Copies of this chain bind each other. A is one copy, B any other.
């Protein structure tokens, strides 16, 4: 099975469902013989951006590094899936210009729901003021204005979300049906 390669850029709040969706999407694509890499936010920070913090400049640098890796992977036929928060619109637009077959997928989930889920216990700490510059609480999140796809994780299952993204990849000719 061959494809053109693409970058699936998930963006959304912490706890919106980016890692869960990217993990299952990665498994599904791999199962149909597609080369795929999931670049999860936490893992990528450890491998590429240790030493960077959470200022706007550092977040943008981190996002550019992930973008650089996605570009290298996707131009070699891999489906690269980024699951970093990537809160700033401008740097995402920059990547969109630089990376062929860049698909921006907005993982939309109300802040309230993310706070209720609080999978990593980070919102509780952020709301107590223990984490400075926490996206959605004490740091901005700029939602995409014109994403290729919007996934509302408070209204649909992970399975349904993964199917939608897979369908988008087929529709755009990046993987075969």
Contact = CB atoms under 8 A, between A and B. Distances in A.
A35 B76 contact: yes
A31 interface: no
Copy count, this protein chain = 2
A64 to B, nearest CB: 8
Contacts of A77: 35, 76-77
Interface in A125-151: none
Nearest to A79: B76
A61 interface: yes
Contacts of A177: none
A48 B76 contact: no
A78 B61 CA distance: 26
Interface in A62-109: 64-65, 68-69, 72-73, 76-78
A40 interface: no
Interface residues of A, number: 17
Contacts of A76: 35, 37, 73, 76-78
B48 A51 contact: no
A50 B48 CA distance: 11
A117 to B, nearest CB: 29
A83 to B, nearest CB: 14
A68 B51 contact: no
